[in-house]
């Protein structure tokens, strides 16, 4: 497509993804020069330029990405399982208490996993303090990063730079976003430093960055941004994915029943599923991967790539600077029959058993493209897999999900395919009824969360004793 002065290519075929983003990754791992990068010192790792090995023209991006790869690889992701197992207990208990507020509980769960992993402290509630600030930042960022006229007509940038913010609403939003980032990100960095100096810093991404002795260590501003931007990616993605899962369970009760049947046979009713049970739950693994495919979140198209140099593919000229859009929705649907049916049996148990199959470079064999492709694939993939598997398996262990009824007893309809507008999407709001599966399971949930709270201090954070027992 030709959009003003911009060339945009929509990548709708896994073979094309393989040929361009994987095999020619040196040329297609860049990001388009979006106007939003002019703000916040261009420290958003998702938008920042890619560094080519033979020409280290962006050491900051390389060091940012290195921290994610080293600290969030599969081995490091396992290190954070105690956080995820514990916070999922509050999720279950919250739903028992107030099932109608399930969306709020899911958002708290994913926010807490994100803050604990990134900063070392939990989120018992989402409507106060720094979490409220982070959620506000995410809302503002989502709006501010939408494509602007100046992205399609780069020649207008000189005019944009000269005109004041009150003339250009989008410019004003980005300026306000930078002020919000400076305040919130530095507050979080300061709190992390205080805990580190007091010897109270729990295992976390920011602690690792602050104590890093490598010559590649990021400076304070880069550390603050690297951690906070990770929150935006982790919290929103996981929350929206779980919303898609619940929608699927409501609309496809046969899948729900089969998943519960497998859990009951393998796990039973006297304990909760653990990450270590994943190998023995092939149908649940299928539900997780089908959720990623069926309700890709938060992007209908992955963060765009760009061509570093002119290229030719199958006789088609791809000019330098062209925007390469990974059309996730199409890639996740066009290859499958009855693609809008939720069917975990699309995948063999062998394919779901290998965790990395969801980010495999053999694109035509991929189950979905929700985590992107090429060298810019989501660096938090392993943590996300654990977040979703633990929540999905435990929610199915504890609850039944049904259609909601109106005052006259009629089923309230749900639009199966409805999502919010824009590049960043989630399922549109819908109503459902969630009920605990049995009194004994309710009692087990209550006791499990009560026992877990003995490992929390008065602020709802993990005690030093729990950290020592879990991480040594």
Binding residues: 378
Q: Give the Å distances, CA to CA, from 204 to 43, 67, 76, 77, 234.
A: 20, 12, 10, 11, 14
Residue 163 tokens read as 């005109």
Residue 341 tokens read as 């049916």
**Conformational region of residue 268, where left means phi above 0, alpha means psi within -120 to 50, and beta covers everything else:** left
Alpha-carbon radius of gyration of the chain: 22
Asked if 225 and 181 touch (Cβ cutoff 8 Å), the reply is yes
Asked if 152 and 4 touch (Cβ cutoff 8 Å), the reply is yes
Asked if 378 and 372 touch (Cβ cutoff 8 Å), the reply is yes
- Give the C-alpha separation, 251 to 272, whole Å: 25
The residues near 407 (Cβ < 8 Å, ≥ 6 apart) are: none
Q: Do you know the residue count of the chain?
A: 472
Residue 323 tokens read as 């925007």
Quickly tell me which residue has 């290519």 as its tokens.
9
3-state secondary structure of 272: coil
The residues near 354 (Cβ < 8 Å, ≥ 6 apart) are: none
The Cβ-side half-sphere exposure at 461, using a 13 Å CA radius, reads 13
- Give the C-alpha separation, 229 to 382, whole Å: 17
Known binding residues for heme are: 378
């Amino acid at each position: 497509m030709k959009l003003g002065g911009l060339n945009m290519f929509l990548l709708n075929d896994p073979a094309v993804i393989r040929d361009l983003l994987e095999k020619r990754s040196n040329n297609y791992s860049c990001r388009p020069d979006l106007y939003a990068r002019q703000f916040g010192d261009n420290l958003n790792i998702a938008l920042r330029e890619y560094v080519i090995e033979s020409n280290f023209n962006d050491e900051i991006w390389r060091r940012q990405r290195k921290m994610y790869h080293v600290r969030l690889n599969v081995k490091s992701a396992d290190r954070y399982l105690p956080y995820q197992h514990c916070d999922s207990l509050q999720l279950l208990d919250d739903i028992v208490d107030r099932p109608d507020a399930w969306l709020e509980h899911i958002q708290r769960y994913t926010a807490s996993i994100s803050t604990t992993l990134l900063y070392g402290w939990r989120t018992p509630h989402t409507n106060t303090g720094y979490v409220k600030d982070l959620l506000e930042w995410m809302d503002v960022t989502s709006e501010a990063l939408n494509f602007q006229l100046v992205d399609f007509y780069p020649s207008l940038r000189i005019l944009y730079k000269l005109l004041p913010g009150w003339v250009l609403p989008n410019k004003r939003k980005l300026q306000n976003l930078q002020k919000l980032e400076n305040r919130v990100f530095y507050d979080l960095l300061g709190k992390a430093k205080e805990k580190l100096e007091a010897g109270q810093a729990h295992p976390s991404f920011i602690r690792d960055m602050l104590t890093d002795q490598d010559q590649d260590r990021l400076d304070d501003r880069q550390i603050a941004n690297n951690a906070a931007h990770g929150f935006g990616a982790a919290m929103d993605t996981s929350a929206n994915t779980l919303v898609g899962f619940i929608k699927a369970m409501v609309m496809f009760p046969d899948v729900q029943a089969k998943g519960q049947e497998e859990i009951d046979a393998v796990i039973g009713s006297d304990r909760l599923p653990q990450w270590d049970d994943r190998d023995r739950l092939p149908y649940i693994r299928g539900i997780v991967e089908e959720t990623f495919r069926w309700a890709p979140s938060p992007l209908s198209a992955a963060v765009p790539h760009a061509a570093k140099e002119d290229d030719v593919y199958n006789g088609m000229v791809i000019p330098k600077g062209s925007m390469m859009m990974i059309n996730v929705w199409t890639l996740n649907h066009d290859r499958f029959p009855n693609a809008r049916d939720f069917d975990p049996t699309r995948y063999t148990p062998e394919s779901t058993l290998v965790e990395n199959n969801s980010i495999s470079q053999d694109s035509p064999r991929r189950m979905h493209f929700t985590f992107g492709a090429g060298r810019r694939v989501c660096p938090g993939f392993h943590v996300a897999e654990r977040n979703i598997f633990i929540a999905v398996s435990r929610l199915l262990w504890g609850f039944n999900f049904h259609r909601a009824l109106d005052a006259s007893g009629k089923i309230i309809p749900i639009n199966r395919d409805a999502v919010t507008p824009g590049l960043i999407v989630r399922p549109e709001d819908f109503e459902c009824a969630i009920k605990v599966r049995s009194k004994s399971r309710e009692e087990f949930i209550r006791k499990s969360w009560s026992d877990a709270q003995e490992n929390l201090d008065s602020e709802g954070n993990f005690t030093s004793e729990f950290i020592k027992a879990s991480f040594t």
